[in-house]
């Protein structure tokens, strides 16, 4: 067949000189709309021309009267435009119609590939070729659901002939625009079997898809080739079951630790749960749990994440090109969505580790209408502490305990309306030596009504409540006190999604903040502590956003959005005015203004454009660009580099302007070896205005005038992230390298308002070189060997370089801030995962994880601190929280 085509083409070139005549001289003249085949037969009778074609190729085409007067060539050109049919004239009298063989070959190849990969292939025909008007654009719509629970799957990818054509929205709904013809359509989602449809479509139609949970998971890491066009620049999606097969600390599956393994993400300490994204602070990450921001993402000072990964459905992480629906933090967004209970049957799971245990269960309360998902995790480390003998006198009375719990209730009010209640809480308690106890709690609750307004429009009303609080209790009678701190933040959101050729999202978000910045109460009569309460700071952050995602053409996907945010600091409160000729110190107060309850004390507005573009160069590579501007109105005020238990959040006010970040990212993405490998390089540049840094010697806790202790400056970060992943086969893994710098500049008017003389200096989390290697090898279908290697440049610190005495008191002279670095950090972790049987219908599925953390027992510095040498002089010491290899065994199960 190929040879015939080839010879025909050769002939056409040879004779093209004679051939122009007939096609151009013959004019179309039809009395009524006529089938092309019939029309051509008529032309053969009146003209010296012969047409060669396969009937089924031309069957759908009709010649309309509007073509009258046009030449035969121009009529055919117009009619066949966009179809795969071409024509050519040979020997001066023969017009040969050929169907583009490439499309057919591709179609065959795709089907063959799907067959070899044992994909589930279904044949589906919509409409009838005979009734199709060529050139007409057809709409294929439908809903993708999870076969086992009947729950809609959002984020499922629809590939048409191996190119991404769409994605399901929040209600599982999708829409794809096609010309009539034959296609191979695939539906993909993490951990679900791909569904392949051999589709013939000639009319608008509906195609609902049920995806099966993938029972055997050797190849489930990441959705593969569509990453060329799917992932926006700087986005990652984590898969919970993949996380379970990664090495973890003490066998505890940890979302935040996995985020720390993403390119461009670093952490300052051995076990700090906060994370730094592209040179940003830990407070610049928006962590949402079912839409409610979470302030403290860790348990036990950062040893463990505060989320039970078994209760999580989807974790999306954005570090660049952040969509307009997110706002309020300038570095990244970690959007955690919890699992819904199954609509079909009750299921559950749990795990037993050496620190904590967890249990998750979910199922229908009323089938197809109401379902429930609940999880609880609690530590039993008190027991562990108490069994350890220590020479340290107070340790026997110390304890560390934590728990977290979540509940999600979903109720279908009717076919179009769904009610979702989600609740989450986490709690930590340390009992410290010297009678000091520390408690911390997160609470997040939300009620959401999702409504399908029309087939394409989807709306949701969200009412959220969040609270973060901690308490420090000193029980020593002579100083006994309770120190309380809390942030309460109810929110109201209204979001709409329109699912058409343009995917449009818009909405209104409101969050009210009530900061209680500190209240200290003596708790014994002998206590020398005085009662002090810092006045609450209230504020309202509101935002309107609009964003549009669409394909400008097949290869160019654009996303443009805008977010307009307004921040109001609301009274009561007092604003002190300082002598403008002097630095901001309490002794330089010249006046003060008091505001009553509800008065607007200060207003800031921000216009935040967002833009991202993905240009598909070819099937295996794409270029992505992202720009976003973001405003952050609340700031974490800390003089520690790692997350410490005593965090103070400061809202913007008359003194502290909002942080404004502009970030540009540019990425190149490429698949290699038939999607066995993925590689990308992302460049970024970020500039943040109005970052806060502390003055030397700042007292941050219980400070009535925080403006006297904080300095406003600018930050800058830039870098490149390079990643190579193997995403198919027995060995899966990735190697990431990031080069980045994170710098700060604080240059106030007065000397004491400058840091390092107002020059640029490395931020606390400036770690220029980061290497992350992760792998997982499937020893068999059920046994996996996984590991992680991590290297990063030691973070900056400040060291004393000289010392002297004044009036008998020793003084250390520090070098410029952050001009030295702690030793480089590196660590290797290994795990062996033994999974139970992979049969789909089984009652119990257990997994053992044997892990070794810090395999070669490196003593990485967690923090550097100073100790008095007994002579009044401070010497630097490093604390390695983990100084040896930590083996552990944990067991998890599903039923």
> Hey, which residues between 715 and 774 contact another protein (CB under 8 A)?
751-752, 764
Residue 881 binding another protein, by CB under 8 A: yes
Q: How far is the CB of 850 from another protein (least distance, A)?
A: 17
Specify the stretch interacting with another protein by CB under 8 A; choose among 79-87, 100-108, 455-463, 696-704.
696-704
Residue 645 binding another protein, by CB under 8 A: yes
Residue 874 binding another protein, by CB under 8 A: yes
Q: Which of 256, 432, 549, 660 binds another protein (CB under 8 A)?
A: 432
Q: Which is nearer to another protein, 90 or 864 (CB)?
A: 864
Strands 573-578 and 181-188: unpaired
Helix (H, G, I), strand (E, B) or coil at 198: strand
How far apart, in whole angstroms, are the C-alpha atoms of residue 186 and residue 194? Answer: 7
Residue 879 binding another protein, by CB under 8 A: yes
Residue 810 binding another protein, by CB under 8 A: yes
Please work out, in degrees rounded to the nearest 5, the angle formed at the alpha carbon of residue 564 by the alpha carbons of 763 and 288.
Answer: 60
End-to-end CA distance of the chain: 56
Q: How far is the CB of 704 from another protein (least distance, A)?
A: 8
- In sequence order, the 6+-apart residues with CB closer than 8 A to the CB of 387 are none
Residues 212-251 that bind another protein (CB under 8 A): none
Q: Which is nearer to another protein, 65 or 433 (CB)?
A: 433
Residue 867 binding another protein, by CB under 8 A: yes
Q: Which of 822, 828, 833, 849 binds another protein (CB under 8 A)?
A: 822
- In sequence order, the 6+-apart residues with CB closer than 8 A to the CB of 50 are 44, 93, 94, 95
Taking phi first (over 0 means left), then psi (-120 to 50 degrees means alpha), and beta for anything else, what does residue 286 get? Answer: beta
Q: Which of 696, 769, 779, 856 binds another protein (CB under 8 A)?
A: 696
CB 351 within 8 A of CB 894: no
Q: Which is nearer to another protein, 411 or 858 (CB)?
A: 858
Q: Which is nearer to another protein, 370 or 583 (CB)?
A: 583
Q: Which is nearer to another protein, 212 or 436 (CB)?
A: 436
Q: Which of 21, 69, 130, 872 binds another protein (CB under 8 A)?
A: 872
- In sequence order, the 6+-apart residues with CB closer than 8 A to the CB of 20 are 89
Residue 863 binding another protein, by CB under 8 A: yes
Q: Which is nearer to another protein, 704 or 741 (CB)?
A: 704
Question: 204: how many CB neighbours lie within 10 A of its CB?
Answer: 15
How far apart, in whole angstroms, are the C-alpha atoms of residue 186 and residue 330? Answer: 36
List the one residue out of 159, 166, 233, 156 whose CA is nearest residue 192.
156
Residues 775-804 that bind another protein (CB under 8 A): 797-804
Residues 573-602 that bind another protein (CB under 8 A): 576, 585-587, 589, 592
Residues 464-493 that bind another protein (CB under 8 A): 472, 474, 476, 478, 483
Residue 702 binding another protein, by CB under 8 A: no
Q: Which is nearer to another protein, 430 or 631 (CB)?
A: 430
Residue 866 binding another protein, by CB under 8 A: yes
How far apart, in whole angstroms, are the C-alpha atoms of residue 93 and residue 11? Answer: 12
Burial 365-375 (b: 16+ CB within 10 A, else e): eeeeebbbbbb
How far apart, in whole angstroms, are the C-alpha atoms of residue 223 and residue 442? Answer: 33
Q: Which two three-digit tokens encode residue 469?
A: 């609080």
Q: Which of 207, 223, 300, 420 binds another protein (CB under 8 A)?
A: 300
DSSP letter at 103 equals H
Q: Which is nearer to another protein, 64 or 585 (CB)?
A: 585
How far apart, in whole angstroms, are the C-alpha atoms of residue 777 and residue 33? Answer: 63
Residue 877 binding another protein, by CB under 8 A: yes
Q: Which two three-digit tokens encode residue 841?
A: 């219908």
CB 282 within 8 A of CB 267: no
Q: Which of 303, 318, 669, 825 binds another protein (CB under 8 A)?
A: 303
Q: Which stretch of DSSP H or E encloses residue 717?
A: strand 710-726
Residue 209 binding another protein, by CB under 8 A: no
Q: Which of 170, 720, 886, 889 binds another protein (CB under 8 A)?
A: 886
- DSSP assignment string, 375-442: EEEEE-HHHHHHHS--SSGGGGG-EEEEEEEEEEEEEE-SSSEEEEEEEEEEEEEEE-STTEEEEEEE
Residue 640 binding another protein, by CB under 8 A: yes
Residue 552 binding another protein, by CB under 8 A: no
Residue 855 binding another protein, by CB under 8 A: no
Q: Which is nearer to another protein, 422 or 863 (CB)?
A: 863
CB 215 within 8 A of CB 781: no
- DSSP assignment string, 521-536: EE-STT--PPPEEPPP
Q: How far is the CB of 264 from another protein (least distance, A)?
A: 22
Mask of contacts with another protein, 147-186, x by CB under 8 A?
----------------------------------------
Q: How far is the CB of 794 from another protein (least distance, A)?
A: 9
Residue 704 binding another protein, by CB under 8 A: yes
How far apart, in whole angstroms, are the C-alpha atoms of residue 516 and residue 537? Answer: 7
Q: How far is the CB of 569 from another protein (least distance, A)?
A: 21
Q: How far is the CB of 454 from another protein (least distance, A)?
A: 54
Q: Which of 436, 516, 621, 654 binds another protein (CB under 8 A)?
A: 436
Q: Which is nearer to another protein, 301 or 549 (CB)?
A: 301
Q: Which is nearer to another protein, 52 or 877 (CB)?
A: 877
Residue 522 binding another protein, by CB under 8 A: no
Specify the stretch interacting with another protein by CB under 8 A; choose among 60-68, 211-219, 561-569, 695-703.
695-703
Q: How far is the CB of 549 from another protein (least distance, A)?
A: 42
Residues 335-394 that bind another protein (CB under 8 A): 381, 385, 388, 390, 392-394
Indicate if the alpha-carbon torsion angle 682, 685, 691, 696 is positive or negative: positive
Q: Which two three-digit tokens encode residue 675?
A: 């999607």
CB 68 within 8 A of CB 26: no
Residue 430 binding another protein, by CB under 8 A: yes
Residue 884 binding another protein, by CB under 8 A: yes
Residue 550 binding another protein, by CB under 8 A: no
- In sequence order, the 6+-apart residues with CB closer than 8 A to the CB of 734 are 723, 724, 725, 726, 772, 773, 774, 775
Helix (H, G, I), strand (E, B) or coil at 6: helix
Q: Which is nearer to another protein, 663 or 863 (CB)?
A: 863
Taken as a whole, the chain contains a residue count of 895
Specify the stretch interacting with another protein by CB under 8 A; choose among 157-165, 239-247, 722-730, 862-870.
862-870
Q: Which two three-digit tokens encode residue 794?
A: 């030691």
Residue 122 binding another protein, by CB under 8 A: no
* Burial class (CB within 10 angstroms; exposed 0-12, middle 13-18, buried 19+) of 580: exposed
Q: Which of 628, 882, 890, 892 binds another protein (CB under 8 A)?
A: 882
Q: Which is nearer to another protein, 207 or 300 (CB)?
A: 300
How far apart, in whole angstroms, are the C-alpha atoms of residue 342 and residue 354? Answer: 30
Q: Which two three-digit tokens encode residue 351?
A: 């795990």
Residue 512 binding another protein, by CB under 8 A: no
Q: Which of 137, 345, 416, 699 binds another protein (CB under 8 A)?
A: 699
Residue 333 binding another protein, by CB under 8 A: no
How many residues bind another protein (CB under 8 A)? The answer is 99
Q: Which stretch of DSSP H or E encloses residue 682?
A: strand 677-694
The β-bridge partners of 63 are 34
Specify the stretch interacting with another protein by CB under 8 A; choose among 191-199, 207-215, 601-609, 868-876.
868-876
């Amino acid at each position: 067949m190929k040879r015939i085509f080839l010879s025909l083409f050769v002939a056409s070139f040879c004779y093209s000189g004679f051939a122009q005549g007939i096609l151009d001289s013959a004019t179309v003249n039809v009395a009524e709309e006529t089938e092309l085949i019939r029309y051509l037969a008529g032309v053969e009778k009146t003209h010296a021309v012969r047409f060669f074609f396969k009937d089924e190729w031309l069957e759908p085409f009709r010649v309309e009267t509007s073509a009258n007067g046009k030449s035969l060539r121009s009529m055919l050109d117009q009619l066949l435009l966009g179809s795969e049919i071409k024509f050519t004239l040979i020997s001066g009298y023969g017009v040969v119609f050929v169907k583009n063989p490439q499309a057919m070959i591709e179609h065959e190849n795709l089907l063959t590939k799907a067959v070899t990969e044992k994909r589930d292939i279904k044949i589906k025909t919509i409409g009838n070729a005979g009734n199709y008007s060529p050139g007409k654009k057809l709409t294929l719509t439908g809903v993708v659901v999870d076969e086992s629970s009947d729950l809609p799957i959002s984020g499922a990818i629809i590939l048409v002939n191996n190119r991404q054509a769409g994605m399901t929205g929040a209600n599982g709904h999708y829409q794809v625009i096609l010309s009539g013809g034959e296609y191979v359509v695939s539906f993909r989602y993490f951990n679900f079997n791909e569904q392949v449809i051999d589709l013939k479509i000639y009319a608008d139609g509906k195609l609902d898809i049920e995806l099966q949970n993938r029972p055997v998971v050797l190849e489930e890491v990441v959705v593969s080739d569509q990453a060329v066009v799917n992932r926006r620049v700087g986005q990652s999606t984590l898969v919970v079951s993949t996380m379970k097969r990664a090495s973890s600390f003490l066998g505890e599956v940890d979302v935040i630790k996995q985020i720390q393994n993403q390119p461009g993400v670093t952490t300052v300490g051995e076990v700090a749960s906060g994370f730094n994204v592209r040179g940003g602070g830990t407070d610049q990450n928006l962590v949402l749990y079912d839409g409610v921001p979470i302030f403290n993402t860790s348990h036990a000072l950062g040893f463990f994440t505060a989320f039970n990964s078994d209760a999580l459905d989807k974790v999306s992480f954005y570090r660049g090109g952040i969509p307009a629906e997110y706002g309020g933090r300038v570095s990244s967004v970690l959007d955690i969505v919890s699992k819904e209970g199954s609509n079909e049957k009750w299921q559950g799971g749990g795990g037993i580790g050496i620190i904590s245990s967890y249990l998750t269960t979910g199922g229908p309360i009323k089938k197809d209408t109401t379902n429930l998902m609940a999880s609880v995790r609690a530590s039993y480390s008190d027991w562990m502490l108490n069994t350890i003998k220590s020479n340290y006198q107070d340790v026997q009375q110390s304890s560390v305990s934590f728990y977290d719990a979540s509940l999600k209730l979903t109720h279908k009010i009717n076919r179009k309306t769904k009610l979702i209640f989600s609740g989450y809480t986490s709690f930590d308690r340390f009992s410290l030596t010297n009678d000091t106890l520390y408690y911390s709690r997160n609470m997040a609750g939300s009620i959401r009504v999702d409504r399908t307004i029309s087939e394409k429009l989807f709306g949701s009303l969200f009412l959220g409540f969040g609270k973060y609080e901690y308490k420090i209790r000193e029980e020593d009678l002579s100083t006994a006190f309770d120190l309380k701190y809390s942030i309460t933040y109810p929110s109201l959101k209204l979001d709409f999604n329109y699912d058409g050729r343009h995917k449009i999202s818009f909405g209104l978000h409101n969050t009210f903040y009530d900061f209680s910045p500190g209240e200290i109460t003596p708790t014994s009569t002998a206590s020398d502590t005085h009662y002090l309460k810092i006045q609450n700071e209230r504020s309202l952050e509101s935002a309107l956003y609009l964003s549009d995602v669409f394909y400008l053409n097949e290869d160019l996907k654009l996303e443009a959005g805008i977010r307009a945010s307004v921040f109001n600091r609301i009274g009561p409160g007092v604003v002190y005015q300082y002598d403008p000729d002097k630095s901001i110190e309490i002794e330089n107060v010249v006046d003060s203004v008091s505001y009553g309850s509800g008065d607007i004390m200060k207003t800031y507005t921000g216009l935040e454009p967002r833009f991202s573009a993905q240009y598909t160069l070819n099937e295996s590579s794409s270029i992505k660009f992202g720009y976003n501007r973001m405003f952050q109105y609340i700031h974490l005020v800390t003089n520690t580099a790692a997350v410490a238990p005593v965090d103070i959040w400061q809202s913007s006010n008359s003194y502290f302007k909002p942080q404004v970040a502009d970030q540009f990212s540019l990425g190149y993405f490429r698949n290699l070896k038939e999607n066995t490998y993925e590689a990308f390089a992302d460049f970024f540049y970020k500039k943040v205005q109005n970052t806060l840094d502390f003055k030397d010697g700042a007292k941050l806790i219980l400070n009535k005038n925080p403006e006297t202790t904080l300095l406003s400056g600018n930050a800058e970060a830039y870098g490149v992230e390079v990643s190579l992943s193997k995403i198919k086969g027995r060995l899966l893994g990735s190697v990431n390298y990031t080069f980045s710098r994170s710098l700060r500049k604080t240059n106030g008017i007065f000397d004491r308002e400058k840091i390092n003389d107002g020059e640029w200096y490395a931020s606390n989390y400036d770690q220029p070189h980061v290497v992350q290697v992760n792998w997982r090898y499937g020893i068999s279908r059920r046994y996996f060997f996984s590991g992680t290697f991590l290297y990063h440049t030691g973070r900056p610190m400040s060291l004393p370089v000289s010392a002297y005495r004044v009036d008998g008191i020793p003084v250390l002279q520090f070098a410029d801030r952050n001009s030295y670095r702690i030793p480089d950090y590196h660590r290797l972790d290994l795990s062996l995962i033994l999974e139970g049987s992979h049969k789909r219908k089984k009652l119990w599925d257990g997994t053992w994880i044997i892990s070794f953390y810090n395999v070669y027992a490196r003593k990485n510095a967690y923090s550097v601190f100073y100790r008095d040498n007994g002579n009044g002089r401070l010497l630097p010491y490093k604390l390695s929280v983990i100084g040896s290899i930590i083996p552990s065994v944990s067991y998890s199960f599903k039923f």
